[in-house]
């Protein structure tokens, strides 16, 4: 199956100057907010996912999220957010129970509890994509490294301008 790359807003934009294999026409964006990860706002993480991203996952694409961590080699979105998304979609779409881990800590109990707390409305929103399932696994991985420009929006705008004008 094919691979689709998603730049996680905002710090993932920095990757555009480091990775030169992106075709502008193929570039996609996603927003998995680190603030939602920090606040354990699990339902908000799910609600932030757009139809484009969810459809690619449902069709069996390997979805690579490119994100840079604020003064860390990995971002909270790539550590916790992606693990939660993988857990949630495996359970909702494929009726699979996976064993999520972050830093060798098993999160199965916490995630299952959070899964039960997600509203019926949110689950129904994501159940819509089940009819398009063309896979037996959720293929979600990350490319990540540290950033030193977190919070400097003018730098991200400059990187985007350079990327679009080359």
pTM of the model: 0.90
Q: Tens of pLDDT along 23-78?
A: 777 789 999 998 898 899 999 999 999 999 999 999 999 999 999 887 666 777 77
Q: Tens of pLDDT along 128-148?
A: 999 999 999 999 998 888 888
* Cα–Cα distance, 112 to 92 (Å, whole number): 11
- List, in order, residues 6 or more apart from 46 with CB less than 8 Å away: 84, 85, 88, 118, 122, 126
* Enclosing domain of residue 85: 3-164
Name the token pair of 92.
């909702």
Distance in angstroms between the alpha carbons of the first and the last residue of the chain: 29
129 CB-side CA count, 13 A: 24
Residue carrying structure tokens 């193929």: 26
Number of domains in the chain: 1
Residue carrying structure tokens 């991985």: 141
Give the phi and the psi of residue 119 in degrees, each rounded to 5.
Answer: -65, 155
pLDDT for residue 78: 77
Residue carrying structure tokens 């819509």: 128
């Amino acid at each position: 199956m094919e691979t689709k790359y998603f730049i996680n807003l905002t710090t993932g934009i920095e990757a555009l100057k480091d990775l030169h294999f992106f075709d502008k026409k193929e570039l996609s964006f996603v927003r998995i907010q680190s603030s939602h990860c920090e606040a354990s706002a699990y339902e908000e993480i799910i609600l932030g996912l757009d139809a484009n991203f969810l459809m690619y996952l449902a069709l069996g694409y390997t979805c690579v999220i490119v994100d840079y961590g604020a003064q860390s080699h990995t971002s909270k979105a790539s550590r916790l957010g992606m693990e939660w998304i993988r857990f949630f979609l495996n359970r909702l779409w494929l009726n699979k129970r996976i064993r999520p881990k972050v830093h060798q800590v098993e999160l199965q109990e916490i995630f299952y509890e959070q899964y039960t707390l997600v509203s019926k409305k949110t689950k129904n929103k994501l159940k819509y994509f089940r009819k398009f399932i063309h896979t037996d696994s959720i293929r979600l991985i990350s490319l990540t490294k540290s950033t030193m420009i977190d919070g400097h929006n003018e730098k991200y705008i400059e990187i985007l301008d350079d990327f679009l004008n080359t």
